[in-house]
Amino acid sequence: MKRINQLQPLSKEHHQSLRLAKKCRDVINTKSNTDIIAFAVQLKNDFNTQWKKHFLIEEKYIFSTAKSKGGEISEICQRLEKEHRRLEALVEKISAGDIQLLPDFGALLHDHTRMEERKLFPMVEDTFTPAELDNIIKNKPGNTSQPKNHLNKPEDKPENKPEG
């Protein structure tokens, strides 16, 4: 599915999170204990440098806006925010040595990412205003681009605008 421009950076990170989820589910059965512990340390480092920022952007610029709209999108965001806390708690336990939780972390991360991509993001594309969408990409760390024509939402295309 083609994502609107404002959500593309987060969707690209979601692709990375799905790969990470698979590694977390598979690593227990395919690596030595030393390799698994090294993987857990790397997971903690990556989580602190990349995924906490990712969660912050989602919570501050998507979840908070979506929750103010009420209804199903609000309920989904409340669930996803709770899952962020569960993922953070699992990373802490894993990095403290409970490596048997890696498959649980991987399963939750997989399901969480799928929920965001398949349920939340289509709703965001349909319900957020162009300014709300632009706010997401404008505040994405490391973003150097500006939003492009409100990411081709149909109502923003010139041929759909009333003449006046």
pLDDT digits (tens, 9 = 90+) for 16-36: 999 999 999 999 887 788 889
Domain that holds residue 85: 5-143
Query: Which is nearest to 54 in space by CA: 136, 149, 147, 155?
Result: 136
Residue 162 lies in a domain: no
| DSSP single-letter state for residue 48 | I
Residue 122 lies in a domain: yes
**Structure-block tokens of residue 38:** 């090294």
Residue 20 lies in a domain: yes
Query: What is the per-residue DSSP string for 79-110?
Result: HHHHHHHHHHHHHHHHHTT-GGGHHHHHHHHH
pLDDT band at residue 137 under the 50/70/90 scheme: confident
Tell me the CATH number at 122: 1.20.120.520
What is the per-residue pLDDT across 87-112, written as a single tens digit (0 to 9) for each?
Answer: 999 999 999 999 999 999 999 999 99
CA distance 14 to 8: 10
